[in-house]
Amino acid sequence: MSVKLAWTKNTDPRSNCDAYDDAMLELMDKDQRYIHIDCDLLGCINGKRIKSAHPDRLINAGIAEANAVGVAAGLASTGFIPFVHSFGVFSARRAFDQAFLSAGYSRWPVHILGTDPGVTAGANGATHMPFEDGALYMSVPNAVVLDPCDYAQTYALTKKSAAYPELTYMRMIRKKFKTVYADGTDFEIGKGIVLREGTDVTIIASGIMVNNALEAEELLRKEGISAAVIDMFTWKPLDEELIVEYAKKTGAVVTAENHQAYCGLGSAVANVLAKNCPVPQEFIGIQNLYGQAASQDYLEKVYGLTAEDIAKAAKKAIGRK
Amino acid sequence: MNKEEKMKELRVFAARIRLETMRIISHFGKGHVGGSMSLADAFAVLYGSIINVDPENPAWEDRDYCVLSKGHAGPVMYATLGLKGFFPVEEAYTLNQNGTDFPSHTDRTKTKGVDLTTGSLGQGISEAAGAALGHKLLNKSNYVYVFVGDGECDEGQVWEAAQFAAHYHLDHMIALVDNNGRQLDGTTDEVMSHPKGIGAKFEAFGWNVIDVKDGNDVEQIYDALTKAKQTNGNPTAIILHTIKGKGATFAEPTGAHSSSPAKEVWDEAVKACEESLAEIEKEASL
Ligand SMILES: Cc1ncc(C[n+]2csc(CCOP(=O)(O)OP(=O)(O)O)c2C)c(N)n1
């Protein structure tokens, strides 16, 4: 794993979903087994270019997500490796029984994409704002759950998912977003990345919260507090070793997720800490609330997901040592 | 009022709804223009002459229900409810802005006059069936009107609701299918087709089906709704052959699902709706 950081707080000029398209096009060019199934949302991930390159392996299942995931399982039984896309709310909640049984329990390599994770759904509002998709997929035995933060990570994890022999779920940011890693950075499923070394507290984040965690580290540094920052883009299987190592080293943890705080990354980390090394932990995430239609910036403030919120939680966790 | 005058009035109401729908979305700059504008005429007929509601008392228990199962067309319902007096229509100009009560998709917890929450396609028609059954169990005669998209009809849930409504003889349930021939990724024929038509499917499920050749013509819609209310024993589906984006200068020619044109283009489009309203008002007063 060679990590090249490229965090400048700048927004990538590319839409994040292009990372998936780029990776998928390469996979499909080389290997006839890869196939993309969409649910009338191909236009939302700029997927028309996959369609023109491989019209025979671009299947539009219409607005029928449960059927699409069932179809994916059937395709897998004939040797195809399907990726299925819809918005995260539908990929998770609407197709969950099919994902669980037809794909997960049946042990087929079906790869599910849920776009617009959490507050990135913005103006699409409550009905389109998944705060629980990760929780659902984490409950499937053996499933992989990924929450990438930028183009390079989405690109690499698309390829890693493609090679994974079981059900995977990726929370995929669709729009333009801040760059964290340089293109070409490689990632391994199940291995967190230490982005900042620190001694007083460890911030464990994923997805859009990686950017906010890095900003929180800067705020804390100004106050003389040394915070480690870990990008935990794999929620399952979780990098337990790294969590325990940093909990021992810093004695306090803050988890930061764009998801319900009581059933996502935070609770998975708490599970590891309780078993191995109980230290104070604070949970940044959605606090038992539904979504709403508004801008992403506003929502990050309303739901307490900002760098300032993380820094405050870090001080609280340190105070509880 | 004779029928001819009534139709004139409804045409004016439809033009007002079109204009306000465009104003509402233009304030945010981006939204589901296509699927909102195709329904302006049906909303005008329903709220202008058919539905039994009280803007002063949105929770009136004898009211008819209206469910926008294709919830992304929220703006056309907000325009209609605003013009009907449920709230000042200008309030809906806050569409999707931080803290708004007017989100993209219709939400009963936020907006007066919205009976059931939608946005996940397929769910509204089941909710409508439940409401129709509830009224029936309570020996009440309220009607439930539900707007369904033709793309939405891809969802299995639509057909689960259809079989349920027929099985329980929910004859006070009237579905209006916005058969504009388009969904998000293209035409329904390209994305997911209905080889014998959506009407044939509803018929096979045991519904009465009324085909409205021009679903943007208030008189044809009025006749269909009037007829639907006279049928006994089974639910009715009205298939409205509409034009996606009807009356929106930039969306009608392309049939676009979601649009975010430049400010000047918005201004032109709103102006075109103002002019069209003035013209229809003039015709109506002749
Ligand atoms: C269950 C579900 N899947 C996907 C979507 C995203 N989506 C919103 S509108 C739309 C297309 C709807 O087409 P149609 O029902 O024909 O509506 P219209 O063209 O009249 O706007 C899609 C796919 C959704 N809202 N709900």
- Would A16-172 and A193-319 be classified into the same CATH topology? yes
Query: Looking at residue B152, which CATH number applies to its domain?
Result: 3.40.50.970
The alpha carbon of A231 and the centre of ligand 1 are apart by a number of angstroms equal to: 34
Mean pLDDT of the region A2-15 = 93
Task: Tell me the chain A residues in contact with residue B35 when contact means C-beta distances shorter than 8 Å.
Answer: none
- Kindly indicate whether the ipTM for this predicted assembly is greater than 0.95, answering yes or no: no
Nearest by Cα to B31 from B44, B45, B21, B20? B21
Sign of the CA dihedral running A73, A78, A81, A84: negative
pLDDT on residue A1: 57
Whether A295 and chain B come into contact, CB under 8 Å, resolves to yes
pLDDT in tens, A225-278: 999 999 999 999 999 999 999 999 999 999 999 999 999 999 999 999 999 999
With a 6 Å cutoff on the Cβ, whether A85 touches ligand 1 is no
Mean pLDDT of the region A38-66 = 97
pLDDT in tens, A129-173: 999 999 999 999 999 999 999 999 999 999 999 999 999 999 999
Of A65, A132, A215, A300, which residue is the catalytic one?
A65
Task: Tell me the chain B residues in contact with residue A293 when contact means C-beta distances shorter than 8 Å.
Answer: 96, 100, 103-104
The alpha carbon of A153 and the centre of ligand 1 are apart by a number of angstroms equal to: 29
In chain A, % of residues over pLDDT 70: 100
Determine the distance in angstroms separating the CA of A116 from the nearest CA of chain B, rounded to an integer: 15
Pocket test for ligand 1, best of B105, B187, B257, B259 (most atoms within 8 A of CB): B257
Total of domains in chain B: 1
Nearest by Cα to B236 from B140, B167, B172? B172
With a 6 Å cutoff on the Cβ, whether B192 touches ligand 1 is no
Q: Where are the domains of chain A?
A: 16-172, 193-319
Can you tell me the distance from the alpha carbon of B151 to that of A180, in angstroms, rounded to the nearest whole number? 38
The alpha carbon of A257 and the centre of ligand 1 are apart by a number of angstroms equal to: 28
pLDDT on residue A2: 74
Structural domain including B180 reads: 3-285
Mean pLDDT in consecutive groups of 10 residues from the start of chain B, 286 residues:
95 98 98 98 98 97 98 98 98 98 98 97 97 96 98 98 98 98 98 97 98 98 98 96 98 97 98 98 89
pLDDT on residue B1: 85
Whether B257 and chain A come into contact, CB under 8 Å, resolves to yes
Pocket test for ligand 1, best of B39, B117, B121, B198 (most atoms within 8 A of CB): B121
Q: State which CATH number among 3.30.70.380, 3.40.50.970, 3.30.390.30, 3.40.50.300 fits the domain covering A16-172.
A: 3.40.50.970
pLDDT in tens, A203-231: 999 999 999 999 999 999 999 999 999 99
Architecture per CATH, A193-319 = 3-Layer(aba) Sandwich (3.40)
Task: Report in angstroms the alpha-carbon separations of B196 from A42, A284, B193, B199, B242.
Answer: 26, 52, 9, 8, 18
Decide if A41 contacts A64 (C-beta within 8 A): no
Give A96-101's long-range contacts (Cβ < 8 A, gap of 24+).
A96/A136, A97/A66, A98/A66, A98/A67, A98/A69, A98/A70, A98/A73, A99/A69, A99/A137, A99/A140, A99/A167, A99/A169, A100/A140
Task: Report in angstroms the alpha-carbon separations of B85 from B43, B47, B52, B69.
Answer: 14, 11, 14, 22
Nearest to A126 among B30, B99, B103 (CB): B103
The alpha carbon of A24 and the centre of ligand 1 are apart by a number of angstroms equal to: 25
**Residues recorded for chain B:** 286
In chain A, % of residues over pLDDT 90: 99
